[in-house]
Structure 1
Amino acid sequence: MGEAHSLAERYELLLDVSEILELNRDLNSLLGALCDLPASIGLFDYVNLLLYDAPTDTMTLFSQGDVGGGYARIDGLAPTEGPGQVVWARQRPFVCSGEEYRRHFLKIAALRRNQRVGLYCQMPLTTSQRRLGGVEFISSRPTTYDEDDLTFLRRVASVIAISVENALIGEMRQMEEERLRGERDHNHILVEVTNAVISKLKLEDLVDEVSRSIHRFFGVDFVSLDLVDPATATIKSRSVYFQKGLGPVWGSAQGPLGASPMAPLFETKAPRILARADLGALARGHDQMTLLTNAGFQVACGIPLLSAGHVLGVLTLASRERDKFTDYNIGLLGEVASRICIAVENALAYGEISRLKDQLSRENKQLAKERYYLEEEIRRTEDFGDIIGISPAIRGVLEQVELVADSDSTVLILGETGTGKELIARAIHMLSQRKKRTMIKVNCAAIPSALLESDLFGHEKGAFTGAIAQKSGRFELADRGTLFLDEVGDIPIDLQPKLLRALQEREIERVGGHQPIPVDVRMIAATNRDLTGMVEKRLFRGDLYYRLNVFPILIPPLRERREDIPLMADYFMRKTARKMNRAIEAFSAETMDMLLNLPWPGNVRELQNVIERAVILTKGPVLHLPATELRHHLAPSAALPSEDAVIPLRAAVLPSAASAPDPLPPPAGSSPNPGDLAGEAIERDQILRVLRETNGIVGGPRGAAAHLGMKRTTLLSRMRRLGISPKEVDHRA
């Protein structure tokens, strides 16, 4: 083409071009600067860029328009299409005339219809770091380039390559900054929403915070939180409508799940967009959609609130801007919805906890009232409440209870069966300093001898067959409380030394153990047996008896406190009638007379059983119990037997002898009761008569015990007490 400039001028021109292009940090401004190159350099009329796009493996052509005009962008060209097969693949310049260009590259030439190609030159657009594409220098005149021209154009291409690389780096940096800025804004919104909603434990407060946050960050004017009530298959909605200049308007609604515009979300579990047309169609059957269409909203969006794959509800949003809910915004709103879902779960859990707490509080108050009532009842019943009587005999017993209760002394309660020994023991405990602790009861007669030691003192693991774990005994359970040993006379003789040691040393050893265990126990024992006689016969250890007999209390039998019978009978009658829902108010005179005149060998327990039977049999408000029924219950009757009749023992004087153990001997120094002597005489004659009839045989199905309706051991005990021997029957006949 010839030298348009001297060599020095070209270098100076190259420097100017480099400085100009360096000022343009983005591709658009760089393309604008390239438009001025043809006029500045003079070797070409057009300069075009071919930039390689690695992700798509294509070239993008930036083609200059009229001389000095802007650039048109053409995407999707193959890198090796046209001259690129030489320039891109081989990284060598390509130069040809306009005629050759049009002849060989017709398709490519068609893309440059506005450019008159007289001479075509493409240089590689390459830096030291990477290949960027190619740069085209096109002259509209049919001319040629010499070696100096090509060398200069190659240097111009190198300057352009550096500028393009810088521009692309700048654009990448800007894109990265925008991405980071977007992530920052994204995270800022999530943090703000999370902080706003996570602390709200009431649904009303939660909806308020959610709506305000979404309105502020997304410019959405309608927000509704729609939660499902699984129990009723309904949706409960609470919404906020932000009206410009008027402030938020709150609303609430409830309806069937199937009628909700967002019902499909519960199946798809994906966001749903409703355009203006959809809103209009739904408005006919849904008040919320009517509100949105009348207010000019153009689009609505439903975001499911997902919890472990289950749709808890829907976050419904609406906007007057058609393009408000872009993919990016929906994605961000989905993340916001996940935070809201956690807050909703917390609020629902808090509501349930509050409900249960209130319910528990109410129940606790009710239980406190019931407990107070029961404690009062227990206090009344256990502080003498069930010990009923006005007789001097029972008053004397209660005075003894009050005297000994406050001490820690061992008490021995003596009395016939059914006299209320356990009630006296409980009264002592409840009046003592140990009443806040437990009174542990052990019925020594009800526990097999082989198990009684383990029950009282506990055992270690492996102490005997079946001892698979360590067990605490009754002494340990009664620590700092009271231990009540009922039927203490039935404790085996070989176990009595260990019990004595526990009482004296206040320490025990478990079965199979060797470590002493200190115990602080107040001992109360009770029996209906003659311990003094048992000591004499070596059936009970004397030292243990003296240790138990620190403060004996003798409970009088019912026959010695007959003035208490009306009170106790009335108490048992009312208690039983109330339990059976019967309206009985009083006793008949005949029934009360019979109750007063019977000897009651079973004492208070027997009286209670008689009253219970009478309540069952009575049909009116007055308790009646015919003599025949009373005789049937007491077996035998109170009538005296005929001389030839063989009836159970104590038919006239001592009812229920079959179930009653021996009465205790009268206290020393007391005079015998004439009624008791007469009863013993009748009992002695009856036993002798039956023994004569059975030829002195006591046991067995044909023995005297079976005829008299009692156990063999009981009959032998009575015979010993009355001084009767089977061998003497013939002599006495």
Structure 2
Amino acid sequence: MTDPSLIESRRLTQYISDAVGSVRDPQELFHTLTDKLRLMFKFDSAVIVTIDKDRRYVSVFFEMFLFPIAQGFANEKRLLAGSWFEPFLAKPAVATVSIGDELRRHGNDSYPILKIFYDAGMRQIVLSPLLSGGEVIGFLNFVSRDEKAWSEAERDLLASVTSPISMAVSNALAYDELRQREAETAMQLAVNNALMTIRDRGQMLLAVCEQISKLLPVVYLGIRVFGDDGTPRLADNFMHDEEGRFISVSTEERLSHTGDEDAMRESRELIAHPGVYSGDRFLQLARESRLVAEVQERYGICTIISAQLWDAPGSHAGLIISSSRRPFEETELATLNLIIPQLSLALQNLLAFEEIDTLRQRLEGERTYLKEEIRAVHNFEEIIGTSAPLAAVLRRVSQVAPTDATVLIQGETGTGKELFARAIHTLSPRNERVLVRVNCAALPATLIESELFGHEKGSFTGATGRRIGKFELADGGTIFLDEIGELPLELQSKMLRVLQEREIERLGGGKLIPVNVRVIAASNRDLQKEVAAGRFRADLFFRLNAFPIFLPPLRARTGDISMLALHFAQKFAREFGRPNRPIRERDMQELKERQWKGNIRELAHAIEQAVILTDGPVLDFSTILTPRSRHLAALSPNPAKGIQSMAIFEEEVREMERTLILDALDQAKGRVSGKGGAAELLSIHPKTLYTRIEKLGLRKRYHT
């Protein structure tokens, strides 16, 4: 007669085999199996543990505890060496373990899970090895309150039902491994796609973050690239927002106590020692690193992975990810390493392209300015004169030029401030680099910040690409800020910071860019009066006024007028292909006696007109230098001279009209119509003025 228990065990074994073949969800399967096992064996809780391929760690695969256990404790991997499973690997067989005896033999600290069991009232563990291909891949464990001796028949029965369970665990592990590999492959493909198709660095890295987070519990990802000198070239940070999406954040947004310099230094040290920092290793790192201690306190970070992207001459880079959900494992570093080569190559290429684009923009800008440099002889050759006031200015120029001191040039309109700025640059050690000129008065207030400091793509409407600002363009050289008094107050504070820190920040960018620039500023306003009136910042004025140079007006250096007049006569004769005609003594005398409110620029324009209008052997200033007061006096009767003829009177009226029109055209810079044109200044209709210009024969000079 067949033993009923044997029949029941066969039925159970068959049921387990059928369940293994039909139930696909592992958790559902093992819950079902545990319920069936209770029909044959007495136990309070059941646990299945597995051993990894490298036979280093043991972890819980399935558990059904009927008593409370610390959250996350069951899910942690434990070292196999020293565990209470290790003695049963050599001779795999069903065995019983007295929890109390093990604790007395090894102490409470050796096997913390046994202490948890004991405190919960458990006294015995029965374990049955799970075999696959003759190798132990884990253990089926029954945890009980009562200690009892197991007969050989019971042990054999447990061993027999463990066999199909071993197959189920082996299949589940294989399926998990396959699913993990598929997920890793999908991540690699998605990351490669992002690296190949997205050109914007921020968007590309956000896509990489999203893909990594599908396999790793990432809440923060940081990418660091450092130069050989330790200077950060790239410091991008990405964190989960409230909706679980990754967003770009700055270091200042992440940290409140750790300064940016300290954060960069400690980040550099962290990527120099790649690895997984979890458990005690993370706690030790938090004790040694202020940065890690702060993110632990502020964000609840409990684990960090540091991975090296590259370590090459000129730069080294790394990836730092952290989590507050659960500790990272070594296998997750291996997963991350799957995309490191592609990410490194793409990032290096992107940085190279950005550097090339920056150099291209800088070279294009330098080419533009070098063309201007070629057209303008930027040395003392065009600073004409030997007067004492001019000699004093040139002496100050010679003294300050070899230094890097900031220079403020002040003087009336037309005194040649740019010419002196060029002379300072030419005589300085920076003369092999470009001199960049910015006319602060000519730029709209909405564009001047972008013009000075540059902008990133998308920083404002119309910013379709990155633009290098004038300060960055002048790196290594000199920047000439003409008409600095016109700079809006809201930008004066930013200008002050640049002068103090020698760093700029592009519009829409979060990175400070160091600039090595010598600053020369100029203004035709009295900046001290502007400060007193509240239109110019006092601190900016004092910063600019490190070395002041005041240019004398032309009326203060009349001794230089003869040399200047002859210089301009020769220059314009060459430009217009005209003969080099002399200037009569009486005309030269009148040139010296005029007030020249427009200074050298006004004198140059007068000589230019004479060169263009003259047809005779000497320069003709008759329509240019006739003082308006002389014509006004001619309109009044002069008893001493007697009555003049109408012909003479009409001629003098024509001369006065010619002078008035020429003065108005000079003031309007040659424009006849429109706002600020000569017609508006003379309060006549533009058509009337065109007719009079033609009638007086002035078309050679002014084209409409």
Give the shorter-chain TM-score range. 0.3 to 0.5
Task: Provide the TM-score with structure 2 as the length reference.
Answer: 0.38
